[in-house]
Structures are given as structure tokens and as C-alpha cells.
Amino acid sequence: MTTRSTGKRIAIATAVAVVAAGTFAAGAGIAGADSGSTSRTSARMATEAQVLGLFDNWNAALQTGDPQKVAALYAEDAVLLPTVSNHVRKDRAEIVDYFEHFLQHKPFGTKIESVVNVLDRDTVIDTGVYEFTLTNHQTGEKSNVKARYTYAYEKQADGRWLIVNHHSSKMPEG
């Protein structure tokens, strides 16, 4: 378990739920309630460019084909609601398991639309739409999957940003 306070966990979970519902204004207001807390890690707020770069790092980890490298970008107690699995992943071993299977399709992600919310110095949310090109590992045939995503990141004591919550779901219209 990390040192996140219960209040901070509730604020993150609430903000992610609000973002998923598409009401960012309410999410920023809820998260702002925790903005008075002292930060152990940084005196500066993250920039939008820095937050968007976190996806680039994640996508580069996918390109290695190593599920351990991808899972290392998630906090030990992160939650992953993956695009192509019905199983909620609630710990590192389950996240590695998901990526062992997903990486067989040689995924490459491209963001189509992003909205970044900097909640406080140590918590950011990136949400939007991305598309993955997947390769069938048996036939070599390529396909595209368009999905909605939400990444909630938390800055660690060592300065690294880790994913604490990642939700990805195929677009309902296919």
C-alpha cells in the first residue's frame, strides 16, 4: 500500500468517476478540495505537455513487447480496466498477465483527442480517445480498435509519475 491518504484516494476515485461521466468541471472542483495538502515531491504543477508525454512513455513501453516494462509504469496498487478483457486488474501480477496477452497483438496507440486535468501537484488525469493498431499474431492481419481512455497518474516520492487508475473501453459504435 502506498502512502496516499484515504482522502486523496477518495478524491482520485471521485475525479476519475466524474471524468468518465464527462463532467470535468465537477471533477476539478472535487479535486480542488485537496489542493491545500502539502506535497513531498514537487513544488510545481505538471504541464499539459508533461502529462501528454506520459502516454508516449507508456506507448513506447508497449513497443518493447515486455509486459514487465509496461506494468512498471503502474503503481503497485493500480487498477486497470482494460480494453480487450472483461477482467478488472487490481494488482501488478494481474496487470502483467493482461499485457502478456495484449502485447501478442503488437499494439501501437495513437491519441485522437486528449483532455488533461492537473488536479494538484501530484495528481493528474488524462482522458480522451485513442486508437490502437493491432496485428493478429497468427495471420499478420492488422485491425484498428478505437477506444475511450482515462489515465489517473500520481507523482511518487522519487519524482516518477505512475498510473494509479487506467480505464479503456471500446467505442460503442465500434
Q: Are 124 and 143 in contact (CB under 8 A)?
A: no
132: left (phi over 0), alpha (psi -120 to 50) or beta: beta
Per-residue pLDDT, 14: 46
Q: Which three cell numbers stand for residue 43?
A: 513544488
Convert the pLDDT of each residue in 24-81 to its tens digit: 333 333 344 444 444 454 468 999 999 999 999 999 999 999 999 999 999 999 999 9
Record: fold of 44-170: Nuclear Transport Factor 2; Chain: A, (3.10.450)
Q: Which three cell numbers stand for residue 120?
A: 494538484
Rounded distance between C-alpha atoms, residue 1 and residue 9, angstroms: 12
Q: Are 165 and 78 in contact (CB under 8 A)?
A: yes
Rounded distance between C-alpha atoms, residue 108 and residue 133, angstroms: 5
Mean pLDDT of all residues belonging to the chain: 83
Higher pLDDT, 162 or 10: 162
Domain limits of the chain? Answer: 44-170
Beta bridge partners of residue 151, listed in sequence order: 126, 166
Query: For the chain, how big is the Rg over CA atoms in Å?
Result: 16
Rounded distance between C-alpha atoms, residue 112 and residue 128, angstroms: 8
91-100 mean pLDDT: 96
